[in-house]
Structure 1
Amino acid sequence: MIKKILFVVNVDWFFISHRLPLALEALKKGYEVHISCAITDKKKYLESLGLKVHPLEISRSGIGITGEIKAFLEIYKVLKEISPNVAHFVTIKPILYGGIVSRFLSINKKVFSISGLGFIFIKQGFEASVVRYIIKTMYSFALGGKNSHVIVQNPDDNALVKSISNVKTTLIRGSGVDLSQYSYIEENNENIKVSMACRLLKDKGVFEYIEAAEIVKQKLPNVEFELYGDVDIDNPASLTNEDIKMIKKSGFVNVYGFSSNIASAFSDSNIVVLPSYREGLPKVLIEAAACGRAVVTTDVPGCSDAIVPDITGLLCKVKNSESLAQMIEKLIIDENLRNSMGKAGRKLAGKEFDIKKVVEKHFEIYEGKI
């Protein structure tokens, strides 16, 4: 009898960027592989790989009751129809809705990937605290069924999950990178470039990065600052197109939009920056390490777990452009420190972030070996 695995995730492009190697390995192992997600323009590509795609109407931002009930019922329907041996839920709504509905179905193995706890766990205020309480209660029920296993990416999220539910957890540091696609190239130490790549969200620290660039360029005007990424209109924290126009107009940072070859962009840089407010374990910092580039990131859960502080990169204070500028300037000025951190980052990537090791660990969970 053919084993079936179903991935339920918010949107197709995120699955491709963060989970596709798992699906391809499952095909190699003889699984029938299904994915249920919102569709942009990637359905034909996924099907060409041999995946069975089930479109899912799920909003990543809205909380309209009718749409949420519909998404809930669609997830129930696809789980019941496919009856997978393994159901792997990724991102907040698939985890919550999938976890809840799967408690009423017989599924041999349920896996939940919590890669950061999202916008609502960062936002402050009374309304956010009420929503957080509701979501924690939903998490407790969703994760608490039989045959459940939660994958977390950093110790803080692991502790939070444990405080919500007594479910079994495994810590896997990020979604991994194919090291054959990221090679270490010696830096160009003559023309210093600083790069940031992310979805253009406020809580990624984009505005702090722009302010830090302005501070640094007052002292070191020849340093180039680059920003890669697009707005994400479905995310409440997204920058607007007007914000992007203002950033371009300021002239402190070159804005390039989404890059399909971030390895090349990072190899052409000297320093990679991510001043995020909170993460699971950001793939962009794994990619920076794989390219052998020193990192400046914030001293917050997820970001600090993606580097070895003072060995592969430097930590700055969160929401603090002055602190960020100081750390960037330190690496610009100290060529030996910057180069040694880059080389140490490449070693870290080989030891901790190799996609082969990440995929192997997932299949140990799928197949009940851990």
Structure 2
Amino acid sequence: MRVLLFANTDWFLFNFKLSLARALQAAGHEPVLVSPPGLFGPKLREMGLRWEPFELSRSGINPMIEASAIARLAKLYRRIAPDVVHHFTIKCVIYGSFAARRSRVPRTVNSVTGLGFALLADTFKARLIRPVVVALYRRALMGTHVVFQNHDNMATLRALGVLERSTVEVIPGDGIDTARFTPPIDRPPGQTVLMMGRLLSSKGVGDFVEAARLVHQQIPSAAFQMAGAPDPGNPESIDEATLAGWRAAGDVEFLGQRSDVLALQQECDVAVLASTQGEGMPRALLEAAACGKPMVATDVPGIRELVQDGVNGMLVPPGQPVALAEAIIALLRDPARALAMGRAARRAAVDEFADECIVARTLSAYGLAPRP
């Protein structure tokens, strides 16, 4: 069976879908990976995977160009002739579903990995385009199998009436390689606090910076690190002037986009995610959990399905840096409690979110394996 995986970047396919592609190969199926061209497409080919480039603008809204993209995608689907297509991210879900319908693909699976700016933000632009996005979702998802990463997102789209003619299920995240992301050996407790993610206002970067300032008033030796880069194509991207001011203040070390995420996760003591609008299933926290790190995060969709308050981390209200700082201080001052939470986080990563668990459920969604 030929299974086509379509995402808006080859980086996403390389970092999040290798385990799935390899599992398909191991089971005797043919995975075909499709994305706009980038640095990682050739790497996928070097690994023996079939990767097809497809030009797609992440932020384009010109009706003629976007309609042309759907037509080009349908042509690609007819050429590849997949038995199953699996789409990731909003634009790929909508355009891919229309293209799959035109080219008569037997089975379409759509992953809603988050609700995105249009459905979550409270800006004029978001409110303006929201009805359009909802209408497109309603048409695109009709007759497809929709996979959510958390129950909140599923409930939101169901309430909007876009799932009435779809089958749905929740598969929590993209999986994590728990053999690679492991707790460090013989590392003494320290005071390093790490947050990873794109530098967007909705990720709570400003709240993280303010929390760091507050923590330093009580624990001056604590080290705060932020790994990630701005996303110029996103209207919520942090501007350079604001970043320059934060860097000058010195409470947080901004590391930029990093490839050594394993080392960063293993070398931190507390993992933070301060998102204000919710997540699908936050990859950065999954990596931290697999590395045995206690988590401090906001009580929003996606996060609350991974972080169990008082068990493997601490949940705080979104948009409240004082509460964020207090939770971080509590863990930095109680290494034994932090260690116990880290161990619980590791158990959850292995038992519920490991690659093999997620891949098995995804293959079942394709109709290729019995439901686990």
User: TM-score, normalising length from structure 1?
Assistant: 0.94
**Deviations 1:173-196 (Å, cap 9, x if unpaired)?**
11111111012235532x311001
Q: Give the aligned partner of residue 90 of structure 1.
A: 88
Q: Give the aligned partner of residue 356 of structure 1.
A: 356
The share of aligned pairs that are identical, in percent, is: 32
CA contact (8 A) 2:307 2:315 kept: no
1:213-232 → structure 2 map (5 Å cutoff): 213-232=212-231
Change (3 A) 1:246 1:127: closer
Q: Give the aligned partner of residue 58 of structure 1.
A: 56
Change (3 A) 1:69 1:106: closer
1:346 maps to 2:342? no
CA contact (8 A) 1:188 1:270 kept: no
Q: For 1:343 and 1:266, how far apart are their aligned partners in 2?
A: 14
Q: Give the aligned partner of residue 75 of structure 2.
A: 77
Q: Give the aligned partner of residue 16 of structure 1.
A: 14
CA contact (8 A) 1:61 1:236 kept: no
Q: Give the aligned partner of residue 305 of structure 1.
A: 305
SS at match of 2:324: helix
Q: Give the aligned partner of residue 294 of structure 1.
A: 294
Structure 1 letter corresponding to 2:222: V
- Please state how far the C-alpha of 1:126 moved relative to its aligned partner: 4.6
**Deviations 1:93-141 (Å, cap 9, x if unpaired)?**
0101111232233222111011111122221145422422221111111
1:153 maps to 2:169? no
CA contact (8 A) 2:75 2:103 kept: no
Structure 2 letter corresponding to 1:263: L
Change (3 A) 1:237 1:124: same
Q: Give the aligned partner of residue 67 of structure 1.
A: 65
Q: Give the aligned partner of residue 272 of structure 2.
A: 273
Structure 1 letter corresponding to 2:72: E
Q: Which stretches in structure 1 are left out of the alignment for 5+ residues?
A: none
Q: For 2:65 and 2:248, how far apart are their aligned partners in 1?
A: 39
Q: For 1:346 and 1:263, how far apart are their aligned partners in 2?
A: 14
Q: Give the aligned partner of residue 202 of structure 2.
A: 203
Q: Which moved more, 1:264-273 or 1:179-188?
A: 179-188
**Deviations 1:280-321 (Å, cap 9, x if unpaired)?**
010111111101111011111011112112100111111221
RMSD of aligned alpha carbons: 1.6
CA contact (8 A) 1:33 1:52 kept: yes
User: TM-score, normalising length from structure 2?
Assistant: 0.93
1:259 maps to 2:258? yes
Structure 2 letter corresponding to 1:359: V
SS at match of 1:314: strand
Q: Give the aligned partner of residue 234 of structure 2.
A: 235
- Please state how far the C-alpha of 1:76 moved relative to its aligned partner: 1.4
Q: Which moved more, 1:313-322 or 1:59-68?
A: 59-68
Q: Which stretches in structure 2 are left out of the alignment for 5+ residues?
A: none
CA contact (8 A) 2:117 2:126 kept: no
Q: For 1:126 and 1:266, how far apart are their aligned partners in 2?
A: 37
Q: For 2:37 and 2:239, how far apart are their aligned partners in 1?
A: 23
